[in-house]
Every structure is written in C-alpha cells, then in structure tokens.
Structure 1
Amino acid sequence: MKYLYPIIKADYLQRSRSYAFLITIAVTIYAAWSFVPPPEANYTTLTMFGYKGVYNSAWVGHVSALMSTLVLSLCGFFLVIGGIKKDIDTEVGLIIATTPISNFGYLLSKLFSNFLILLTISGLAFLVGILMFFVRSSGYPFHIGDFILPYLFMVLPAMFLVSGMAILAEVFLGRKSILQYLIFFVLFGALMSNVNSSSKNPILPVTDALGIRTVFNSVKEKVNTEFKENIDKVSLGYVIHKNRTFKTFVWEGVSWDGLFLLSRALWISLMIGLVYLSSFFFHRFDFKQAVKKEKKKTQEDFLAKTAAPYSGFNKSLLPDISPAYGIIPFIRTELLLMVRKDSKWLWALNISIWVATLFVPLSFAYSFLLPILLFLQVSRISELATKEKTNRVHYFTYASYKPLQRMLPAQIIAAFLLFVALALPVIARLLMASNLMAVLQVMNGSMLIVLLSVCLGILTGSKKLFEILFFALTYIIFQGIPQAHYLGAIAFENYGGMMVIILMINILLLIGSFAVRNYQTRNL
C-alpha cells in the first residue's frame, strides 16, 4: 500500500497541471452551467414532451447529476485513458517495473488516479449545480441532500466504472487507440440502450450501471400518476423545442432503496475484480521489442565487422542538391504519415464503409455512415499539430524555412484532402441529386474537424481535448439532432444559417491556430 500513494499523487499532479486539464475545467464549468437551462430557454436537458419539473432543489440536483453522469461518462474515458502509455513513453514504467509494487497494485493506483481526475471535474459540476439552483429557482427551499445523494449514488460510481474501463482498454488493447474508442462507444451505447425500460422486475436496478434508469422511472411514475398519462420515454441531453408550452409538476426526487445501493457496490466491486484479472495479462513494461532491438544490434555489429574498409569520401557520387521551397512535398509526406498510421484491418473497415456509402440510401449514408467513417480517422488527425512535440522534433520544424507558410498549411490541406477523399461517394451522390448546398456543407464540416484538431492541438499540446469533442459530436449526431450535425442533415432545411456559423468558426480557428503557432515558433 505504501507504494500506491506516491504513484497516485504523482500521476494526479502530472495530469492536473497540464494546459489540457485547465481547458477541460473551463469547458466543464460552461457545460455544467447549461445543464439546468433557464425557464424561458428553448431547450431542455431532461425531456418529457409537454411536461417539465419545477426548479425545486430535487429537480435541479438530479438533472445536474444526470447530465454530469452522461457527459462525464461519455467524455471522461478519453480524458483519462493513456496513463499507462504515458509511463511507457516517458520510460517511467521501466523504473516502476523494478520496484516491489505488484501488477495489481500499479493498475489499482492508475485506476484511482483516473478516478481522482474525474472526481475533480465532477466536483466542479456539483458546485456549479448548486449555484444554478440559486440562479434558476424561484422561492423553493434549498436541500443539500438533493445534490449530494444523486452525485454520490450516480456520478461517482459512473466515474469509477469509466476509470476502470480506461485501464482495461490499455491493458488488453495496448496502443490500438481506435479499437479502444470503438469498443467504448459500443459499451456506452449498450449501457444507455435500456435507460427507458419500465419493467417491474425487482432485480432491474442491478443492471442499471449508470443509475439513470432509476431516476427516469421515478419521474415517469410521477407524471403518469399526476396527469393520468402513459409516458414511457424520457430523453436525457440537449433537446431544442419549437413549442415552449409545458405543464409543470413538483417532483421530490428519488427514494434510494437498499437494492439500488447494493447494485452500486456490486458494479464497483466488479470493476475492481476486472482490474485484478487484467493484472495477470499486464506486460509490466517488459516488451519483446527489447529482444528485437538486441537482435538488430547484433546484426549491425556483424555488418560493421564484415563491411568493406573505408576508401575515402567521394563527393561526385552524391546526388545533386535541388532545393524545394514549396509545400507539395510536405502535403505528400503528411498524407503518407496519416495513411500509414493505423493497421491494415482498420483500412479494410474504412474501405468497406466507403463502398457502402455508394449503395445504401443517401440519407443514411450522409447522416450516419459518413460521420462514422470520419470518426474512424480520429487517431490519424488528432496528432496533426502535436506530433512534432510528441516526438521532440519541434525544435527543428519550428526553425525550418517558413514553417507558417509551408508546414502548418500542408498539415491542414493534407487532412482536408483525406476527408474529402473519404466523403467522395457521398459528395458525388449529392451532386447527382443537385444538392449543392449539402456538398458545400460536407466540405465545410470536414474543414471544421480538421481545424479543431489543429487549433486544440496547438493550444493544449495534447490530442485529448480534440478526441473528446470529436467523440461528443459524433455521439450527438446519433441522437438525431439535426441542428448539431456538423456535416448537415438532409432533413434539416436551414443549411444557409449552419454554413455561415461553421464558416465563421472555421475562420476563427484558422486565425487562432496561425497566431499561436507564430508565437510558438518565435519563443521556443
């Protein structure tokens, strides 16, 4: 146990002192402010069409906790994953491997450091939720328990589960980041798939991993009993309403029973058990690459001994120097780096989806398959503007000839060309359907993702924040909200307004990227 605390403390301090974490905190505070919308707002976060709870302590506390559970479970995985990889890259793991700490002890320390990071962000959302009660409420008394209990019984266990999932993903999937994201996406969808189940099975709370269904059933029971309705569905997330007329009701919160509390303990115990199981498969930083390097070194020594004797330097045998100051070689190099980044099986999946967009109905290809195809490239483009610092070659690249006029534009153009190539079947079908506005929006949205990657990478020096936002955007698309579809949606008519907004965001991101990179190149 004495070895756990130093690792947990060091890992937590290292993560919490990064610029990416500070930006995440700022985004969290802004998001938590929107979890409880103003009474006159045209959107809701806990939605039963036609009904809305009054802003008493129970409603504000539970809505804040529900949205924190959803958003932090969705994005927290991307925020905390990579702790083991960080130890590998910095070679701290080699030092840890020589200590008496067990595999399970090390993984447990990483689990708790992940949990503390998410707990810090949850604590900020908790404080903002209390503040929102005093801002939004009108005359209802404040009960601190209506805030503490939902966060204690929903948010904290959910953050523990996400922290454990990140550990399992790193142990079993290693550096296959896109596979980690896809499996988490499927698991998260499975956890959210039955939140509206109204079965009276007494064992049902045990299967409610995030605790959301328990609150939903309590709210539905209140509305159905008071208004003689038969509502069977509640939506969690941002839903925009054209009609702002709601019937209000007073909801006093959830009565947490013993079975629900036992289920929280069971889920936490299950995650600890899975982490313990994974410790038997943990590599403990003992890689076969070391053996390969030793073999390679032996071969090099043999070649050095058997090489022909040095016969002098012959300048005439060297190729002629031909200076090239354009950006075309940079674009070609960036494209090659992205294309060769992931394994062949992922390209097989990309090609399969690319071919499918030619034959499935256009609306499905445009609204769902294309966002999936672009999201599968997250590991390729997330390092567009960070790989120089990651590989510690930024001292050379920043000092190269006109880096702002050649390297940064080449990175943006290469990623944009990749996205356009992937979207080509959809673009061709939209052109055949004479939907020019949709074509422009696809290109506009593709540039948005590229510039988000570049700008956030330059600002934070990390790819995590971009991965979180890209995953959140993709998840929102699958919630069927056309206003949030960055590529547009065929069912959404206001292409003009969306294009202008995204175009303005792109311009701001472009200006910000060049301004910050210009400062960085001048202040190494």
Structure 2
Amino acid sequence: MQYLYNIIKADYLQRTRSYSFLITLAVTVFMAYSFVPPDTASYTTLSALGYKGVYNSAWVGYVSGIMTSFMLSFYGFLLVNSGIKKDIETEVGLIIATTPVTNFKYLLSKQLSNYLVLLTITGITFIVSIAVFLVRGTDQPFILGNFVFPYLFFAIPALFVVAALAVTAEVFLGKRSILQFIIYFLLFGICMAFINEKGGSDTGVFDPFGLSLMTKSITQHINTHFNEDIKSVSFGFIFNGHKTFKLFAWEGLNWTPIFIFSRLLWIGFGLGLIYISSLFFHRFDFKQAVTIKKKKLQSASAVSATEAGQLIDPMRISRSVLPALSFNYGIYPLIKTEFLLLIRQGNKWLWLLNAALWVAMFVAPFKYAYSYLLPVLLFLQVTRWSELVTKEKTNRIHYFAYASYKPLQRMLPAQIMAGILLAISLSLPVIIRSISTSNLYAVIGLLNGAVLIVLLAVALGILTGGKKLFEVFFFLLTYAVINQVPFADYLGSLPDHHAPFFIWIVLMMNLTLTVVLFIARRYQIRHL
C-alpha cells in the first residue's frame, strides 16, 4: 500500500505542478462561470424550446453539476491519458517494474492519479458554481444539497470511468494517441446517442453522466405545468442570440435508490476495466519487441554489408577518392527534414483516413466541407503539431539543438514553416473551391487560420514545455468550431467572418503569437 500511495502522490504532483494544468484550470474556471449565463447573454447552456429555469439553487447547482460532468468527461480524457507514456519516456517505469507492485496496483494508481486530477478541477467548478449562485441568484434560498448531490451523483462516477478509460486506452493502444482520441470520442458519441434515444430508461441506470434523468425531469415539469409536448432538452454552449425565455421554477430531482446504486455499478465498471487491462499490461518489458527488431536490423545489415563488400574493398578506401564535404547553412534542408518528420509520424493507416477526408472535401457541399470536414481533418493532426517544438525535450536532445548554428534564425522558423505547409496542404480542397468561386476573403481566412493553429502549437509548446495543453485547447477549439461558436471560428467559415475586420483580428493574433514564441525560445536558448 505504501508503494501505491507514493506512485499516486508523485504522479498527481507532477501533473498539477505543470503550467499546462494551471492554464487548463484557469480555462475551466472561466467555463464553470459561464455554465449559468447572465440574462443578457447571447447563449444558453440548457435549451428547452424557449423555456429556462429560474436561477434558484436547484437550477444553478444541477446545471453546473451536469455541465461539469458532461464537459470534463468530454475533454478530460485528453488531459490525463499520458500517465504510462510519461513513465516510459522518463524510464521511471523500469524502476517500478522491479518493485513488488503488481500490474493491477500500478494501473490502479495511475487511474486514481488521473481521477484526482479531474476531481481537483471538479472541486474548483463546485466552488465557482456556489459563487455564481450568490452573484446571479434571484433572491432564492441557498440549499447546499442542491450543489452537493449533482456533483456527487453525476460528476464523480462519470469521471471515475473516464480516468479508467484513459488507462485502458494506454495499455491496449500504447503510443497511438490519435487512435485513442478517435475511439474515445466515438464511444462518447455512441453513449450520448443511446442516452438521447427516445424510450430510454427513466431510471438513468445506463447513463454514466446522469443527463437523461435530468432532461426527462425538466421536460416532464414543463409539459405538466405549461401543457407542452417537449421531447428533449439540449445541453452545451448554444448560441441563439438574445432570445426571450419563459421562466419556470424547477426544484431538482428525487434521488431513487436504484439510481444511487447504479453510480456504484459504474465505479465498479471502471475498476473492472483496470483489472482486465492489468492482465494485458506489458509491465515495461519491451525485450521481445526489441529482440525481433534487432534481428531484422542485423539481417538487413548483413545483406547490405555483403552487397557493399562486393563493390568496395575496405583495404583500398582512400580519402582522396571520397567526395568533398559540403556545408549547407540554408533553411531549406531543415524545412524539408521537419516536414518529412511530420508526415512520417504516427501510423500509416491514419493517412488513409486523412486522404478520405481530403477527397471528401472536394465532393461534399462547400458549407459542410468548410465548417465540418476541414476542422476535423486538421484536428487529426493534433499529435503532429503538438510535438513540433517539444520533440527535442522529449527525446533529450534539446541541448544539442539549442547549441546548433543559429537555432533561432534557422531551426525554429523551419519548424513553423513545415507545420504551416502541412496545414495549407490539408486545406487545399477548400482553398481551391474558394478560388474557383472568387471568394478571396475565404482564401485569406483559411491561410490565416492555418498559420494561427501552427503558431498556437508552437507557442504553447515552448511556454509549457509539453504538448498536453495544446491538445486539450485544440480539441475544445474544434468542438466550438463544429458547433459554429462565433468567437472560435479561426478558419472564417461563418459568413459574417468573410470581412476585412475579422481577417485583421486573426492576423494580429498571428503576429502577437510570433513575437511571443520567438522571445520565449530566445530566453530558453540563453538560459539553457
């Protein structure tokens, strides 16, 4: 048990003391404050076809609890899914493998550290939700239970499962981060579709988020008191302008024993995932894979040596007949190398998916290609861009890279240009279709957006020293773009953003990010 506690403590402190966690926490606090919008806001987080609850303690507490459960489950996976990978990279796993800690205890410790990170964010949102009620409440009495129970029965069990899924994904998918993201979000979408299915269970037993229980209670309340026939309630950040709502007083849920017991079952499901994963965990033993790789390399080297021996006699090699050394201090070879590193990174099968989306953008309706397919295609490259300037530290060669010839004038611009070249190449179908219709503003907006996303990856990578913050931020940005949130439309896909003013805003952001990242990298080089 002492080993288990030490692993959990060390992993938790390592995660929570990073800049990326602090920035993610700040963003989460802002989002938690936005879960209950003011009356003058142009958006809502719960849409019931023109109805909105009075801001009493039940409404504020339950909406905050369900939104925390939903949103943190949505992007929390990206935040905590690299615990085992970090132990492999730092070789701490080799030390752990020699200890008496079993596979199950080790994976359980990683799951619990993931869970504690998510619970830390949840605790902050809980405090913010109470503060929001005190600020925006409508002279309603404060009832603590209306804040405690939603977080206790909605967020806590759901996040336990999310933390377990993060560990399970690492065990079975290893370093295939983008594949982990895709499978998780497919499962998340399937789960949400099952929850929203008409005729689902009224008990909410099969709903890890508790979403169906709350939506059905709200629809029944509105239908009973206002003679309506509302079938569903929409959750999320829904931008619908300054719309007038009809108010109703909702007093919360009546918790049933079967629903409370189902929360324990979901926690048991998470523990079951950890146990199954422990049966297949490699325990940092890569000897077999390395042996097979070595045999292949040795056989290939033997063949090459045999062929070379037939052509060249080592005893007759003369330095005078060898070609003279040539030096190239230009930036083009670095751009070429960085671009090849980008496209060769990850599994080759992912390029089949990229190619399918790339071709689909030529044949799909322009609106869908611009607003949906292109943001998804760009997000699939998240692991490539997130490692654009962090791979040197990850592989511990930044001492050599920073000491190279003019790293600030050659290496960093080459990395940025390679990333922009990849983004523009992936955006070519939409760019070509925009040119064919003489939509020059759309072309400029696309180029601006391609540059922005690469500069964000570089800036966040340099400032935080890791890739996690960019991955979470890019996911949230893509989610907002697909839902057509105006302020997140970095590609300029909305008609209102085909204007010089919006283009100038994005351009100024690009210039600001460029200045910041060069200053930060210059500081790192001088204080290495």
Q: What is the CA deviation profile of residues 220-261 of structure 1, one whole-angstrom value per residue up to 9, with x for unaligned ones?
A: 222222222222232222222323322111111122211211
SS of residue paired to 1:283: coil
Measure the CA separation in 1 of the matches of 2:41 and 2:32. 15
SS of residue paired to 1:406: helix
- Aligned partner of 1:328 in structure 2 is 332
Measure the CA separation in 2 of the matches of 1:519 and 1:238. 39
Measure the CA separation in 2 of the matches of 1:387 and 1:200. 47
Q: What pairs with 1:53-452 in structure 2 (closer than 5 Å)?
A: 53-197=53-197, 199=199, 201-202=201-202, 205-287=204-286, 288-292=288-292, 295=295, 315-317=319-321, 319-452=323-456
SS of residue paired to 2:205: helix
Given the superposition, is the C-alpha separation of residues 168 and 495 from structure 1 closer, same or farther in structure 2, using an over 3 Å criterion? farther
Q: What is the CA deviation profile of residues 371-405 of structure 1, one whole-angstrom value per residue up to 9, with x for unaligned ones?
A: 22111111111101111111111112222222222
The TM-score normalised by the length of structure 1 is 0.93
Given the superposition, is the C-alpha separation of residues 47 and 115 from structure 1 closer, same or farther in structure 2, using an over 3 Å criterion? same
1:418 aligned partner, one-letter code:
L
The TM-score normalised by the length of structure 2 is 0.92
Q: Is the 8 A contact 2:57 2:143 kept in 1?
A: yes
Determine whether 1:20 maps to 2:20: yes
Measure the CA separation in 2 of the matches of 1:346 and 1:241. 36
- Aligned partner of 1:40 in structure 2 is 40
Q: Is the 8 A contact 1:107 1:275 kept in 2?
A: yes
- Aligned partner of 1:505 in structure 2 is 509
Q: CA deviation at 1:471?
A: 1.4
Q: CA deviation at 1:195?
A: 4.3
What is the CA RMSD across the aligned residues, in angstroms? 2.6
Measure the CA separation in 1 of the matches of 2:231 and 2:149. 25
1:3 aligned partner, one-letter code:
Y
1:61 aligned partner, one-letter code:
G
Q: Is the 8 A contact 2:59 2:252 kept in 1?
A: yes
2:447 aligned partner, one-letter code:
M
Structure 1 stretches of 4+ moved >6 Å: 296-303, 306-313
2:391 aligned partner, one-letter code:
K
Q: Percent identical across equivalent pairs?
A: 55
1:257 aligned partner, one-letter code:
T
Given the superposition, is the C-alpha separation of residues 225 and 495 from structure 1 closer, same or farther in structure 2, using an over 3 Å criterion? farther
- Aligned partner of 2:472 in structure 1 is 468
Q: What is the CA deviation profile of residues 399-427 of structure 1, one whole-angstrom value per residue up to 9, with x for unaligned ones?
A: 22222222111111111111111111221
Q: What is the CA deviation profile of residues 325-354 of structure 1, one whole-angstrom value per residue up to 9, with x for unaligned ones?
A: 321111111101001112221112211221
Q: CA deviation at 1:465?
A: 0.8
Q: Is the 8 A contact 1:195 1:216 kept in 2?
A: no
Given the superposition, is the C-alpha separation of residues 37 and 477 from structure 1 closer, same or farther in structure 2, using an over 3 Å criterion? same
- Aligned partner of 1:458 in structure 2 is 462
Q: Is the 8 A contact 1:74 1:472 kept in 2?
A: no
SS of residue paired to 1:192: helix
2:170 aligned partner, one-letter code:
E
SS of residue paired to 1:462: coil
Q: What is the CA deviation profile of residues 187-241 of structure 1, one whole-angstrom value per residue up to 9, with x for unaligned ones?
A: 1112222444453744x51221211121111222222222222222322222223
Q: Is the 8 A contact 1:194 1:213 kept in 2?
A: no
SS of residue paired to 1:379: helix
2:434 aligned partner, one-letter code:
L
Measure the CA separation in 2 of the matches of 1:318 and 1:74. 59
2:238 aligned partner, one-letter code:
V
Q: CA deviation at 1:271?
A: 1.7
2:219 aligned partner, one-letter code:
K
2:374 aligned partner, one-letter code:
L
Measure the CA separation in 2 of the matches of 1:444 and 1:294. 46
Q: Is the 8 A contact 2:378 2:426 kept in 1?
A: yes
Given the superposition, is the C-alpha separation of residues 385 and 106 from structure 1 closer, same or farther in structure 2, using an over 3 Å criterion? same
Q: What is the CA deviation profile of residues 50-94 of structure 1, one whole-angstrom value per residue up to 9, with x for unaligned ones?
A: 222121111111121122112211111011111111111111111
Q: CA deviation at 1:502?
A: 2.5
Determine whether 1:486 maps to 2:485: no
Q: CA deviation at 1:481?
A: 4.0
SS of residue paired to 1:405: helix
Measure the CA separation in 2 of the matches of 1:268 and 1:502. 44
SS of residue paired to 1:40: coil
Q: CA deviation at 1:496?
A: 4.2
Q: Is the 8 A contact 2:375 2:482 kept in 1?
A: no
Given the superposition, is the C-alpha separation of residues 502 and 215 from structure 1 closer, same or farther in structure 2, using an over 3 Å criterion? farther
Q: Is the 8 A contact 2:195 2:207 kept in 1?
A: yes
Q: What are structure 1's unaligned runs of at least 5 residues?
A: none
Q: What is the CA deviation profile of residues 145-189 of structure 1, one whole-angstrom value per residue up to 9, with x for unaligned ones?
A: 111111111111111111011011001111111110110111111
- Aligned partner of 1:477 in structure 2 is 481
Deviates more, 1:24-33 or 1:415-424: 24-33
Q: What are structure 2's unaligned runs of at least 5 residues?
A: none
Measure the CA separation in 1 of the matches of 2:10 and 2:120. 15
Given the superposition, is the C-alpha separation of residues 493 and 420 from structure 1 closer, same or farther in structure 2, using an over 3 Å criterion? closer
Measure the CA separation in 1 of the matches of 2:516 and 2:317. 49
Q: Is the 8 A contact 1:97 1:284 kept in 2?
A: yes
Given the superposition, is the C-alpha separation of residues 397 and 313 from structure 1 closer, same or farther in structure 2, using an over 3 Å criterion? farther
Q: CA deviation at 1:124?
A: 0.9
2:53 aligned partner, one-letter code:
G
Deviates more, 1:49-58 or 1:168-177: 49-58
1:254 aligned partner, one-letter code:
L
Q: Is the 8 A contact 1:482 1:489 kept in 2?
A: no
Measure the CA separation in 2 of the matches of 1:13 and 1:317. 59
Given the superposition, is the C-alpha separation of residues 435 and 194 from structure 1 closer, same or farther in structure 2, using an over 3 Å criterion? farther
